[in-house]
Structure 1
Amino acid sequence: MILCYAIGVATALTFLAGVYQVLMGIFHLGFVSMYLSEPVLDGFATGASVTILTAQVKYLVGIKIPRAQGYGVLITTWVNIFSNISQANVCDVITSTICITVLVTAKELGDRYKDRLKVPLPTELIVIVMATLVSHYGQLKEMYGSSVSGEIPTGFIPPQVPSLTLMQRVAVDALPLAIVGFAFTISLSEMFAKKYAYTVKANQEMFAIGFCNIIPAFFHCFATSAALAKSLVKASTGCQTQVSSLVSAVVVLLVLLFFAPLFFSLQKCVLACIIIVSLRGALRKFKDLPQRYRLDRVDALVWCVTMLSSALISTEMGLLVGVVFSILCIIGRTQRPHAALLGQIENTVFYEDEEEYTNLLPVPRVKIFRFEAPLYYANKDFFLKCLHNKTGFDPTIEIARRKKAKKKGQPNSHKGLEHGDTGLSLVTKPRDIQAIIIDCSSIPFLDTAGVSALKETFKDHQEWKVTVLLACCSPCVIASLERGGYSASANKNMHELVFHNIHSAVQFVKERKTTADDSVV
């Protein structure tokens, strides 16, 4: 009775998960696959490979330990393995050593001479057949207590419609199952798509997974998704098309109906060896970590976090942690991006980062500032801080100094004129800054907070007779400035504030200075 109820619940979960996945495909929710970056996928594959390897170790050495469940399966399993290592079966250890040696050698030779081999070597099939024969005729189970596959039942359970009552009970539980199943499948699909140079359509995969759950639900099947171990085994044997899946299905059908008793004497350690050897490609990702670190430290960190969480917590949670951490890294990069002052390349109209290049010429009394990120609510304060630090002039601090000087009755040290409601007064003006040009070429968009930050910058510097100009703005940025009333707040036309390139803005400042000097004369 309990078994029938459990099968009914599993069938209802499978059916609902398939329905949810089809609905997700209808509403084009496959875009979530875009958040599965390469470091996340590689880290997930490596972490899951470590978990799978750990699960197979008990078969390699022939010990019986309780199956760990929940979070921290990796640590719990290794603790149980070392606690019971004294019970290891010598026959299984010897068989595992021989099988792994044969499989690894065959794989290495196959990779080295794959151009000369027209057909991949069926090493796994040969190992299974030979191991079954040796185990059967050598009576390894009877004489040495080796763990074998044992009796495998044949035939099918009659089909049945999923229970509507049970579906109502598990409707909420089926949703995370559908999402995790899709995430697993699309992550492995993207991994193999990169390896074999093809593209994956996430919404199409959603439909495929959904119907692969809905239809088998009538035949008492569990929820399905891509399996890393089985996928790697097929990839390692040279499978590249769906014909291999058809062949696999036919073989499984024949085994379920007729051939299952023939594998009674097959040692479990042989199957574990095949799975472990197939993981070698994913485990080799550890060697790529130093190079990944040299290329991009953040990507290396994302890989490590995803790999460790997939291995130490759980594969499902590891994928979620990797995606969330990757998104947080992107947010962190935009919150504290690179900012720089630019100098002119001699005898050209181009300007580059003074910290990255040498022999750049500074523009007299003009500071050219570049901010390499979108300007929005989360980094507007950092933008202002970088601008003030790089240019060496903070209007807010200068205003505070002026107020403090007035309270003490001290005259200001620099001369400048400002007309206010109370008449003529002395104000401080930076002698070495006439204009600040903000290079917006690396700012893809602005939000209302970003526009407000630019308006505030213009207003604060205008009070100190420092002109703020924008250059290299994208159409999106210009549209945001127009909607935000940037030119209206400055009481100027947009063409006087925004320039197509940095050099045009520099020339505009120089011409204004020349005109001002001529008028004084």
Structure 2
Amino acid sequence: MDVPLNTPQQGRGLVLVRRQPPNPQSLMETLKARLQRSCRCSVPRAWALVQDLVPVTRWLRQYRPQEDLAGDIMSGLVIGIILVPQAIAYSLLAGLQPIYSLYTSFFANLIYFLLGTSHHVSVGIFSLLCLVVGQVVDRELQLAGFDPSQDGLGPRDNGSTLNSSAATLEPRLQDCGRDCYAIRVATALTLMTGIYQVLMGILRLGFVSAYLSQPLLDGFAMGASVTILTSQLRHLLGVRVPRHQGPGMVVRTWLSLLHGLGEANICDMVTSGVCLLVLLAGKELSDRCRRRLRVPLPTELLVIVVATLVSHFGQLHKRFGSNVAGDIPTGFVPPQAPDLELMWRVALDAVSLALVGSAFSISLAEMFARSHGYSVRANQELLAVGCCNVLPAFFHCYVTGAALSKSLVKTATGCRTQVSSLVSAAVVLLVLLALAPLFRDLQRSVLACVIVASLRGALRKVRDLPQLWRLSPADALVWAVTAATCVLVNVEAGLLAGLLLSLLSLVGRTQRPQAALLARIGDSAFYEDAAEFEGLVPPAGVRVFRFAGPLCYANKAFFLQSLYSLTGLDAGCSAASRKTQGLELGAGEGDPMEGKDPVSSGARLVPMAAGFHTVVIDCAPLLFLDVAGMAMLQDLRRDYRALGVTLLLACCSPSARPGLKGMWPPQPQPGHRHGIPTRLDHQPHRAHRARAVDTSLTLDLQRALSTPARLSPHPCRVLRQDLRATQPCTGPHFQSHPVPRTWL
């Protein structure tokens, strides 16, 4: 009987709709269409392209000064005030002169103002990236014959840091001292990092950052924070120890510190203790009074100003031998192209910097976009952060990225747009042009305290590990392995180990997903895991099997193993055994009992111990099937057919149906599309209507799936509904009907 489309069936609440036939395009047609769209040129398209590449041309026209300007100026001033002491302090991590950190902060804010899509992210110097830059710089300094134990701070002759073998190792560097070569290495590394990020943006690889999971990033931040803390202990204590490189750097640094603890500088130790106490207390007070304070306490700036005054008037460098920052020049140096030879030498190191910087930048941009109700473009963020590294590399800058702490401060102080970055750049420019020399007498121990205090949030993440273990042991293992590898080996190895373990965890969950037999919940028509819940009623003679994952070449063996183990019947071995014994029935296509009288056949197809005649596979979790998975289902169907067991597929997802059509040829039956039910919407317990064949039963698709049913959508609740007999539809139609639901 034909039923009109798009009209409800009287008394049944059903609506029949026709599925549009698929119209797939070939790869060549798709590429041709995209090239045609891309090659068309007009003034509106050119202007739209400019707006996409330079987002400031779009949102600046909609800027509302009366509503946005005050908050942007306030947040920009606060971030600029925070940037100055952090820029000088992070020079210790990067092993560079403080002036280069100020250059980096200035250009990064200026470029991200033009190219960024996030309104609240603060791009600039980032402690984790500075750590990696410092390690690469130290390694190249040592290879070039320089002494890497000296930081890029303090008064010295630029050419006096060459050791005895420098002239023989690098003759071309005799006219370039330690600081000159260090910034060459840093700019080469920065340019390579930016090139990688720009290429990722052009190739639309923003999705790659999704593979750096949050547990991996948290573990990396934790391990890198421990490494940063260890590297700053010598400044906190005033101990002269070498800067170790390579695997085991943290352990060797601790051993060197313990060995040289007797030579600690008392002045630096006292200064470090007082500054750490003030900084940590100020941050804790800011966190507790966040709702009452419109502007965070500028604790870092206050500590640096007071410490500079005390060091200057107390002459701590001359009287107690305390290490100070030294001369910081003003103005800009002429731009210079990075060294091409050094770029090839640091190309591999730039990969980890590009991945980490991109992942943090995209994740922070998306986080603030969700909380403030706007959208960002991941690929444009890659281009923006990449340009923040490519262009400044010619102006003596090093690698930058989005910083969480400054972004949070930016949001808390009323930031509305990236105009605040322009204000922050103006503050840094003022310091570059006039105020930088005032920090000459600032102690290095104070700068180390600023760095250590900024690690408070990352170090406190270790408290989340127990809860993470309870929620997901696999994610907790990724966190722990990443952090431990960063500490015990190095940060690059930690990132690689965490990434590999995350991918292995993903593959493992795909290869061995959860499998279960389903049973009915009481008198309802809902099915749940029979092993997890008590009091469920298994349908007589039917096994409902659920495989909570895709079905592909990697897990097809586990699928069969789980199915055979839970049902208690190895169909492959049993079918092969019956074939050798000449007991196989229905070897041809179609149902083995089709056109025959099962009773008169006298065949005993299913063993007495099996206790079932039908297997229903819940295909709702099967998001996709590959060729190997479909071939396995075909073999499984043939094996079950040889045993007189009917194999049914239910709840087939739209992505899996095209591949299954070839396995289940179109045989329109009432209630199905092409012989494949689109829902687990028939109760398998109706199977008792089938006729008996000795001790076994056979069941066709129509009899097995005859009454609507549903799987329980919640593991702890039973969803009830009024079930009525439905008039099945045929052909290219499928059923879609509203169901009254009540939570018990």
- After the TM superposition, which of the residue ranges 78-87 and 151-160 deviates more from structure 2? 151-160
Q: Report the 3-state secondary structure (helix = DSSP H, G, I; strand = E; otherwise coil) of the residue aligned with 2:655.
A: helix
Q: Which residue in 1 is equivalent to 2:250?
A: 74
1:219 to 384, 395, 405: 395
Identify the residue that residue 154 of structure 2 maps to in structure 1. Answer: none
Structure 1 partner of 2:623? 444
- 1:209-257 per-residue CA deviation (whole Å, 9 max, x = no partner) reads 22223322332333x22276xx536756966755664455444444444
- 1:103 is matched with 279
**Residues 425-464 of structure 1 aligned to structure 2 (within 5 Å):** 429-431=606-608, 432-464=611-643
Counterpart in the other structure of 2:682 = 504
Contact 1:469 1:497 in 2 (8 A): no
Partner of 2:354 in structure 1? Answer: 182
Counterpart of 1:301, as a letter, is: L
Q: Which residue of 1 aligns with 2:116?
A: none
| 2:24 aligned residue | none
Give the whole-Å Cα distance in 1 for the aligned partners of 2:504 and 2:426. 46
1:387 deviation in Å? 0.3
Aligned partner of residue 536 in structure 2, secondary structure: coil
- Asked if 2 retains the 8 angstrom alpha-carbon contact of 1:340 and 1:353, the reply is yes
Aligned residues: 497
Aligned match for 2:516, one of 333, 340, 354: 340
Q: Does 1:377 align with 2:553?
A: yes
SS of the residue corresponding to residue 364 of structure 1 reads: coil
Q: Which amino acid aligns with 2:194?
A: G
Farther off after superposition, 192-201 or 118-127: 192-201
Query: Aligned equivalents of 1:444 and 1:367: distance in 2?
Result: 21
Structure 2 Cα separation of the partners of residues 385 and 221 of structure 1: 58
- CA distance in 2 between counterparts of 1:276 and 1:9 reads 25
Partner secondary structure for residue 332 of structure 2 = coil
The 3 A distance-change label for structure 1 pair 79 and 251 is farther
Q: Which amino acid aligns with 2:207?
A: F
Higher mean alpha-carbon deviation, 306-315 vs 44-53, is at 306-315
Distance change (3 Å), C-alpha of 1:152 and 1:403 = same
Superposed, which structure 2 residues align to 1:376-415 within 5 Å? 376-399=552-575
Q: Is the 8 A contact 2:615 2:646 kept in 1?
A: yes
Q: Tell me, in whole angstroms, the C-alpha distance in 2 between the residues paired with 1:141 and 1:191.
A: 43
Measured in 2, the distance between the counterparts of 1:6 and 1:138 equals 32
Match of residue 232, structure 1, among 399, 405, 420: 405
Q: Tell me the CA shift for residue 200 of structure 1.
A: 5.1
Q: Distance in 2 between matches of 1:452 and 1:363?
A: 28
Runs of 4+ in 1 over 6 A off after TM superposition: 490-494, 514-518
TM-score for both structures, normalised by structure 1: 0.85
**More moved, 390-399 vs 460-469:** 390-399
**Structure 1 residues 317 and 473, CA gap change in structure 2 (3 angstroms):** same
> Partners in 2 of 1:68 and 1:202 — Cα distance?
37
Worse-superposed segment, 70-79 or 298-307? 70-79
CA contact (8 A) 2:606 2:613 kept: no
- How many angstroms apart in 2 are the aligned matches of 1:7 and 1:308? 30
Aligned to 2:659: 480
Map 1:108-147 onto structure 2 (within 5 A).
108-147=284-323
In 2 relative to 1, CA 374–190 (structure 1 residues): closer, same or farther, beyond 3 Å? same
Q: Is the 8 A contact 1:350 1:503 kept in 2?
A: no
2:625 is paired with a residue whose SS is: coil
CA-based RMSD of the aligned residues comes to: 3.3
Please tell me whether the aligned partners of residues 575 and 584 of structure 2 are also in contact (alpha carbons under 8 angstroms).
Answer: no
Return closer, same or farther for 1:203/1:133 CA change in 2, 3 Å cut-off.
Answer: same
Aligned to 1:465: 644
- Write the distance in 2 (CA, Å) between the matches of 1:244 and 1:59: 33
Deviation, structure 1 residue 12: 5.1
The equivalent of 1:43 in structure 2 is: 219
Pairwise CA distance, 1:402? 5.1
1:295 maps to a residue whose letter is: L
Q: Give the Cα separation in 2 of the matches to 1:183 and 1:206.
A: 10
Q: Which residue is 1:409 aligned to?
A: none
Structure 2: 5+ residue stretches without partners: 1-171, 589-600, 700-744
1:330 matched to 2:506: yes
Cα 1:128/1:42, change in 2 over 3 Å: same
Native 8 Å contact 1:419 1:425 kept in 2: no
Please report the TM-score for the alignment, with normalisation by the length of structure 2.
Answer: 0.61
Q: What displacement does 1:149 show? A: 1.4
Structure number with the higher helix fraction is 1
Shift of 1:193: 4.5
Superposition deviation, residue 41 in structure 1: 1.8
- Counterpart residue identity of residue 180, structure 1: S
Conserved? CA contact 1:62–1:93, under 8 Å: yes
Matched residue of 1:370: which SS? strand
Segments of structure 1 that go 5 or more residues without pairing to the other structure are: 407-411
For 1:280 and 1:61, locate their aligned partners in 2 and report how far apart those are by CA, in whole Å. 19
* Secondary structure of the structure 2 residue equivalent to 1:481: helix
Instruction: Output one character per residue of 1:59-100: Cα deviation in whole Å (capped at 9) or x when no partner.
Output: 111111111223332222222222211211111111111111
**What is the distance in 1 between the residues matched to 2:355 and 2:574?**
54
Q: Secondary structure at the match of 2:519?
A: strand
Instruction: After superposing the two structures, state which structure 1 stretch, 181-190 or 505-514, moved more.
Output: 505-514
Query: Which residue of the other structure, out of 198, 206, 218, is the alignment partner of 1:22?
Result: 198
Q: Determine whether 1:308 maps to 2:463.
A: no
Percent identity over paired residues: 46
Change in Cα spacing, 1:256 to 1:389, as seen in structure 2 (3 Å) is same
Which AA in structure 1 matches 2:631? S
* CA 1:153–1:281: 2 relative to 1, 3 Å: same
Q: Is the 8 A contact 1:11 1:220 kept in 2?
A: yes
Aligned to 1:32: 208
Q: Are 1:291 and 2:291 counterparts?
A: no
Structure-2 change in CA distance of 1:323 and 1:281 (3 Å)? same
CA contact (8 A) 2:236 2:449 kept: yes
The letter for the 2-side match of 1:136 is: H
How far apart are the structure 2 equivalents of 1:83 and 1:508? 80
CA distance in 2, matches of 1:142, 1:293: 52
Spell out, residue by residue over 1:132-160, the C-alpha distance to the aligned partner (whole angstroms, 9 max, x if none).
11122222222222222122334432224
Q: Distance in 2 between matches of 1:213 and 1:376?
A: 42
> SS of 1:499's equivalent?
coil
Retained in 2: the 8 A contact 1:345–1:361?
yes
Q: 2:567 and 2:308 mapped to 1: Cα distance?
A: 77
For the Cα contact (< 8 Å) 2:513–2:547, is it kept in 1? yes
Per-residue CA deviation, residues 449-508 of structure 1 (Å, 9 max, x unaligned), is 1101111111111111011101111011111112xx2124x9997758532333516166
- The letter for the 2-side match of 1:232 is S
Deviation readout 1:97-128 (Å, 9 max, x if unpaired) = 11111111122222112212222211111111
- Whole-Å separation in 1 of the counterparts to 2:567 and 2:674: 22
Separation in structure 1 between the aligned mates of residue 476 and residue 366 of structure 2, nearest angstrom: 19
Deviates more, 1:321-330 or 1:186-195: 186-195
Look up the equivalent residue of 2:677 and give its one-letter code: F
